[in-house]
Structure 1
Amino acid sequence: MTATVFFAVLLAALLHAGWNAVVKGGSDKLASMAGMSIGHAVPGALAILVLPAPAPEAWPWIAFSVALHFGYQWFLLRSYELGDLSQVYPIARGSAPVIVTLVSVAFLGAALTGQQLLAIGLIAIGILSIGAARAGRAAPQAILAALITGLFIASYSLADGIGARLSDSPVAFFGWVAFLGAFPFALYTRLKRPGLLLQLPKAAPAAFFGGGWASFTAYAIVVWAFTQAPLALVTALRESSIIFAVLIGALVLRERVDLARAASVFLTLCGVVLMRLAR
């Protein structure tokens, strides 16, 4: 992984942690997630207009990705209703790199060095241990929802990685996913709470105007990175966003950071450094 890709994915991780904090920090979780998801439509449409269309081989993956992203959004929203950011986020995000690595090595022919596998392992263990430290106090439903969210994260990451490589235009690929993906969540919002769609600019202005753009930019960087480096490495590095999430949780949302969580963040950081040094 080149330095350009490495630091671009770290920027995406920071943006990703930020928009998750917007959703968790908002008093109306459905409005925040709807604002974020529907807010994708504008940058997605711009990407569609200015970039070359994806290759025909990528379109089945676009459709598959739209479905997987909706599942992820629904379960993430459910997870945040049942648990707090610093508990749910690590469980969901920490499981994804493990699944992506196993599938990449077993079925996609990825060749990873021992150092790279160790780096992925450190990041995953560090992230999971943050959530595990509070798992005993979590509702079982919150843990289950977070684990299912992690499965969706791994699934859409693999689908987007494969689709982006086939598309010849990775940002346009995600532009279509983001644009089309706004419609199923808008329909869900309409059925869940009639009238909310028209109120989104007032009900969730941060998510609607800023979070959608931040989320789109973050994942567009990741989708581009999928075409430049192994999927497992990009996915694991992206999940280092937990470091930023814990900082945001402590400084903005006033969530407590104990010694165990600080040690977990340090372990994750060690994995990030090792990934940068790995050859």
Structure 2
Amino acid sequence: MSFTVFLAVLAAALLHAGWNALIRVGTNRIGTMMVLSAVQGIIGLAVAATGPLPAGPVWPWILASGAIHSAYKTFLTFAYERGDLSRVYPLARGTAPMITLAVGALWLGEAVRATETAGILLLGAGILILACGAWAGGESRRMLPYAFGSAIATAGYTLVDGLGARVAGNAAQYVGWLFLVDGVIFAAAMLAFRGRASLPGGGRVWVMGGLAAVASYASYAVAVWAMTLAPIALVAALRETSILFAVLIGWLGFRERMTPAKALSIGLIASGVVLTRL
């Protein structure tokens, strides 16, 4: 992985933590996520319109990705209704690198060096330590199935989009189409689950959702581009440094308590990042 790609993925991680914080801080999280999906779909349509329709072999990847992204956002939204940023986010993101690494190595033939593998495992260990407070802190455990569902979906769309973008040969066009499909599927799913209550209302929801959409779109576009140039598992692991940024946002922005476990997890995450660069 080149240094330029490395820095781009870290910037994408910061944007990812930022848009999750915007979703979590709002009171109407489903409405905010609906706005996010709608704006992403509009951006995707604008990008997709600049090029020809994808070739036939690309469409299965786009449709699968749109469905998995919608599942991810559905699980994440329901988890944030039941848990805090510093707990839901680590659980939602924490197990994805290990799933991606295993699938990439066993079935996709991805070449990941020993130091990179060690870095990925350190990242995972730090994330899981940070997440253990969900059991020790007396928080609602009803968010756990949704957080783990989000983690599985994260691993799923990471693998699908890494391969799909390679088949498409144009990461920007691929991302545009997938977010357009995702926006339609997610809106239909939320209307089915919550009906009219899922519709956004109030200027604050639109502002927060719009800002989150821009950050989310930019974050994932960079990540998919990076996955066309570097091993999928390595890009996925570096993206999980967004955990570090989320903890800092929670500590400095939301005044969440910095516990020894959180400090230890940050150290492990930082060490994992260093190892992926050796």
> TM-score scaled to structure 1, two decimals?
0.94
Amino acid at match of 1:43: I
Write out aligned runs for 1:111-122 (5 A).
111-122=111-122
Match of 1:232 in 2: 233
Amino acid at match of 1:230: P
Match of 1:15 in 2: 15
Q: Tell which deviates more after alignment, 25-34 or 99-108.
A: 25-34
Asked if the contact 1:37/1:212 (under 8 Å) is kept, the reply is yes
Unaligned ranges ≥5, structure 2: none
Match of 1:160 in 2: 161
Deviation at 1:256, TM superposition (A): 1.3
Compared CA separation, residues 80 and 157, structure 1 to 2 (3 A): same
Distance 1:55 1:13 in 2: 30
Asked if the contact 1:31/1:203 (under 8 Å) is kept, the reply is no
Match of 1:205 in 2: 206
Q: Tell which deviates more after alignment, 136-145 or 67-76.
A: 136-145
Q: Deviations over 1:73-104 (max 9, x none)?
A: 11101111111110111011010000000000
Amino acid at match of 1:74: T
Distance 2:175 2:135 in 1: 34
> TM-score scaled to structure 2, two decimals?
0.94
Unaligned ranges ≥5, structure 1: none
Asked if the contact 2:116/2:277 (under 8 Å) is kept, the reply is no
Match of 1:102 in 2: 102
Q: Deviations over 1:16-36 (max 9, x none)?
A: 000000000111111121121
Asked if the contact 1:54/1:169 (under 8 Å) is kept, the reply is no
Match of 2:271 in 1: 270
RMSD of aligned Cα (Å): 1.6
Asked if the contact 1:93/1:150 (under 8 Å) is kept, the reply is yes
Stretches of 4+ aligned residues off by more than 3 angstroms: 51-55, 188-191
Percentage identity across paired residues of the two chains: 40
Write out aligned runs for 1:1-279 (5 A).
1-51=1-51, 53-136=53-136, 137-191=138-192, 192-194=194-196, 197=199, 199-200=200-201, 202-277=203-278
For the residue of structure 2 that corresponds to 1:111, the secondary structure is coil
For the residue of structure 2 that corresponds to 1:204, the secondary structure is helix
